[in-house]
Amino acid sequence: MDDSYGGGYSRTSYNAGGGDDAGGFVYGGSQGGSQSGAGKGYGDDTLRPVTIKQVIEAEQAYPDAPFRIDGLEVTQVTFVGMVRAISPQTTNVTFRLDDGTGIIEVKQWLDADKQDDTSKQAFALDSYVRVWGRLKSFNNKRHVGAHVIKPVADYNEVQYHLLEATYCHLFFTKSAPGGGGGDGSGANGGGNDSMFVDGGNGAGGDVPMNDGLRMVSARARQVYNWLSNSEGGNEGVHANIISQAMKISIGEVLKCGEELTSAGVTYTTIDDDTFAILDY
Amino acid sequence: MESISTPRISSQLIDSYVGQNVMVVGKVQQLRGDTAVIDADGQITANLNRDAHLVNGNAAQIIGKVLPDLSIKAMSSVDLGNNVDFKVAQAVVDATHQCRDLFVFDADKGGMMMG
């Protein structure tokens, strides 16, 4: 994972952190070898569907720190909004977008080499667009730097986006709905009104919310919980024993173990089938 | 950046939003002059602005202020065509009110929230 190191160092925000170098290093650096959400390189980027209110309320621990929503770092976001104003500037086009939850400025930087781009950006006022971009702060004013802005052709996309943003919020704050694998299931969009109820009720397992654990499946989280309550110690627990104790198939235990290990919350000990909690 | 919300509501919720700006997505049932009747889990009367181009039977999105007689004085009305799933629209209304944190800046908090 060398690239995650490289990404970390090239960020100017590190220098801007001033005397906090040590802290900054622990944050991004110690996790260099893992794929958990704590890393800094592009390889760890996430793309999260959000409402504009979430963008406005995203927190920063200190100026230039990464933005956090629901306590989780966000790098790239996507949202929908109605175009309220378009103001072409010399270096960018600034849009004011309103999705009914708040209003935010979105800047699309102009590429001097591609003059045609400006003409393509003719969105009608009051039409819906979808934005993919990054949260930025400039002169203490927050905006979104857009990579892509596209018109929304089907109004259902607006509704579906808001539901997906809700789903993600519930997923991260209340844990996944029972049995559902992490990603994707929220993207169905259809008229499945029961999904919020599920999200709420699925809050059963009180998992200590470690950044790595947020990304794993519900089943893997159960295995993690079981492991953290077992007496395995440093030597770990063999998949066979986990399988018997939790009454799930050995194949599933191994899958969960692999998932947890790649999330950086467990590691394998004496052989590839023996897992222990990674404590640090 | 402005911390102003127009919460998505249905006719069942309109009486708790008198005096506030809201957003309604529903089916246009009647068009009479400057007045439209929108079905959004029940009927809502909207007083349209003059440049509105709603279509009977199509979906519409109305943004406006709820008046004391529970009609809406529209500031913006958009025709959404005939391909809008109203069950999903209702799900969004439900989500808005179950997870207010994601959707609604409450008016009494006011002010800009700078980051």
Q: Per mean pLDDT, which range of A115-119, A266-270, B79-83 is the poorest?
A: A115-119
Distance separating alpha carbons of residues A92 and A107, to the nearest angstrom: 6
Whether residue B112 lies inside any domain: the answer is no
Task: Provide the ipTM.
Answer: 0.90
Please indicate whether, in this complex, the C-beta atoms of A56 and B115 are within 8 angstroms of each other.
Answer: yes
Q: Which CATH class is domain A205-280?
A: mainly alpha
From B84's Cα to the closest Cα of chain A, the distance in A is 6
Assign residue B21 the CATH number of its domain. 2.40.50.140
Helical H runs in chain A?
Answer: 2-10, 12-16, 21-29, 52-57, 117-120, 156-174, 195-201, 211-214, 218-229, 239-246, 250-262
Q: What share of chain A is helix, strand, coil (3-state, %, to 5)?
A: 40, 25, 35
Whether residue B34 lies inside any domain: the answer is yes
Q: Per mean pLDDT, which range of A70-84, A142-156, A260-274 is the poorest?
A: A260-274
Interface check for A121 against chain B (CB to CB < 8 A): the answer is no
Whether residue B32 lies inside any domain: the answer is yes
Contacts of B55 in chain A (CB under 8 A): none
pLDDT in tens, A34-54: 444 444 567 778 899 999 999
pLDDT confidence of residue A107: 95
Which domain range does residue B52 map to? 14-103
pLDDT in tens, B36-71: 999 999 999 999 988 888 999 999 999 999 999 999
Distance separating alpha carbons of residues B28 and B42, to the nearest angstrom: 12
Distance separating alpha carbons of residues B31 and B38, to the nearest angstrom: 9
Every domain range in chain A assigned CATH 1.10.10.10: 205-280
Whether residue B66 lies inside any domain: the answer is yes
The conformation of residue B79, written as its DSSP 8-state character, comes to: E
Mutation target among A162, A171, A188, A196 for the B interface, most CBs of B within 10 A: A162
Residue A8 pLDDT grade (very low, low, confident, very high; cuts 50, 70, 90): very low
Instruction: Name the residue among B59, B91, B99 with its Cβ closest to that of A193.
Output: B91
**Based on the structure, what is the number of domains in chain B?**
1
Highest mean pLDDT among A13-22, A64-73, A255-264, B66-75: B66-75
The answer to whether A214 touches A72, Cβ cutoff 8 Å, is yes
pLDDT confidence of residue A28: 38
Contacts of A188 in chain B (CB under 8 A): none
Model confidence at A147: pLDDT above 50: yes
* Through-space distance between the first and last CA atoms of chain B, rounded to whole angstroms: 10
Q: What is the largest CA-CA distance in chain A?
A: 66
pTM confidence score: 0.64
Name the residue of chain A whose CA is nearest to B91's CA: A193
